[in-house]
Amino acid sequence: MRVHLACTADPCSASHSHRRIVFSATKTSLSLNRCWRGLQFEHNTLRTALCGRHPPSAVAQMTGVRPQRAFQIVVAATRTWGIGSKGDLPFSLPGDMAYFKKLTSQTCSPKLKNAVIMGRKTFLSIPEKFRPLKGRLNIVLTSNPPTAAAATGAALTPACNTAPRAPVIRAAAAADTASVPTAAAAAAGGQDENQAPPAAQKQQQQQDSKQALANQQQQQQQSQLQQPSDELLYAASLEAAMALLEDETRAGCIETVFVIGGGQVYREAVASSRCSVVHLTRVEADPPCDTHFPDITAEGSGWRLWSCARPKYDNSTRYQFLCYTKDAPAAPTSSSSGSNNISQDVVGQPPVLPSGIASKHDEYQYLDLVRELIEEGCRRGDRTGTGTLSKFGTQSRYDLRHAFPLLTSKRVFWRGVVEELLWFIRGSTNAKELQDRGVHIWDGNSSRSYLDSVGLGHREEGDLGPVYGFQWRHFGASYTDMHADYSGQGVDQLAGLIERIKINPECRRLILTAWNPAALPDMALPPCHMMAQFYVAEGELSCQLYQRSADVGLGVPFNIASYALLTLIMAQVCGLQPGEFVHTLGDAHVYSNHVEPLKQQLANPPRHFPQLLLNPEKRAIGEFTAEDFTLVDYQPHKTIKMQMAV
């Protein structure tokens, strides 16, 4: 069950006795410092090689230094980052509760368990019959761990209350004695010199009352907490809890460490260098909240989206499971069930994602398809004579709500994606327009020799005929050449599509097609990405592309980015938010001369997808230029060259 909501901070959880000590070399010891750095580099290299493959205890034995364990946060928050209201959850989501249990309980190795760290109020917010959370090591942060007496409930009896309250009782007795005048003073009608003035007496009594109340509250807290056990430990701070888990007796027994609340614990955890992953349930609602989680999407936060699951619904509330990791070039790794060699999350190393996570990085869909085609594809011939490994009928889904699916396992020619799409939108069929902008992706199919080979020798070089853009803007018009003015001719599918989305968003005829059988003989190349259907729900615009022929190595990364971009443009023009891009492939194939380059690409783990910003001032489909798109934080692997089959 979801338990992070305990809201107000537990003061004890904020104590942080451990501090990192940093030594800096003076000018007189620079040479010694250089030698030390050299040794340290060799040592860290060894640690880096070992940490990903061995638990911290094993690394400690091999290197003499115990690596710091990292932890991951699990939290559910509203759109405004609210996580609690008056000590309770502001939403009821059974599906989120089930995911929380799976995420924090499931391990790759049946011999290991996970640990959950929480504040005292969070722990006490769990129904008593579920405390501690089963199948996990629970660590509760509190400065008042239970005593043996408190655990039995005896602490509430007067006999057991005597010892803890002795200082208070003594102070009260001293105050009472001082308030009685001595006989001499009474006889003289004066005040004993040892007697405190009335104002001081009142102040002392107030302090005594506060102390007595604090002691009573402490005893009540202790009485509510259970005794430590194999599944329950107590620690005074987050660092102290991590120290317990790094102890030799536990270091090899815990797979993943999760921090699950409440508010103050979260704030400390997000700021910690030990925090490697945030598993966020984003709740599409904004109920009143008095406790909030830090905004990890704010600029400069250092956090970036890694993966996201498809939205779900509970009690008419929509929510989505998201995974954020630190902004670093090294990609997270995933645990695999049944593995005998379990990696653990270590500070300074790529995070190890838990086996119960709801989603993988979207790019793995593409990489998995590449691997499947190479290993299991049907060997077939093709019109180019190159030969392919093929599969019929595949589908991938890319979330457009939080990031832009520009593949990172190799660099994709982004400027080419933008210029070609704008060329389509203009309805142009002139490949020379792209050449003038430094984009040469259509050169092979518009060359003199190619046009002659497909029976279009009467065409000027660069004239592709009534291809994609022409069908989008002038479907059915008679084609002359690339210089003619076709204004008002044929059906402007794109303009009509935008109008229908605005007027009737639930229409099931939101279609954009480039497949015109009557015009196919006049095209230099029949359309591969032939039909797109758009869909509006929850104020979001999604697009599904059917691609009859998919060059997975060279073309598909381009196609994913192109239609994702088209969806973002259409959403802005229609006053909607982007939703999903669904990519359906008919003949999905890898050319035989692409196999080796693709094997290189498969060795490159994905990195964070970038963000794409559109100029918000542009509201008409024909207004956009290449300068209206800003790609943020695109950090791919290097370009991998592949020869186009013509």
Place of tokens 């799976």: 102
CB-neighbour burial class of residue 129 (10 A; exposed 0-12, middle 13-18, buried 19+): exposed
Dihedral pair phi/psi, residue 275, rounded to 5°: -75, 120
Return d(Cα 287, Cα 83) in angstroms, integer.
10
Residues in the chain: 646
Q: Residue 136's beta-bridge partner residues?
A: 114
Return d(Cα 180, Cα 94) in angstroms, integer.
64
528 catalytic residue (yes or no): yes
Whole-angstrom CA distances from 620 to 50, 136, 533, 624 are 55, 55, 20, 8
Q: Which listed residue (160, 528, 543, 574) is catalytic?
A: 528
From the CB of residue 104, how many other CB atoms can be counted at a distance below 10 Å? 24
Reference 609, options 471, 370, 402; nearest CA is 402
Are 584 and 575 contacting, i.e. CB atoms less than 8 angstroms apart? Answer: no
Helix (H, G, I), strand (E, B) or coil at 181: coil
Three-state SS string across 95-143, please? Answer: HHHHHHHHHHHCCCCCCCEEEEEEEHHHHHHCCHHHCCCCCEEEEEECC
Three-state SS string across 346-414, please? Answer: ECCCCCEECCCCCCCCCHHHHHHHHHHHHHHCEEECCCCCCCEEEEEEEEEEEECCCCCCCCCCCCCCH
- The catalytic residue positions are 528
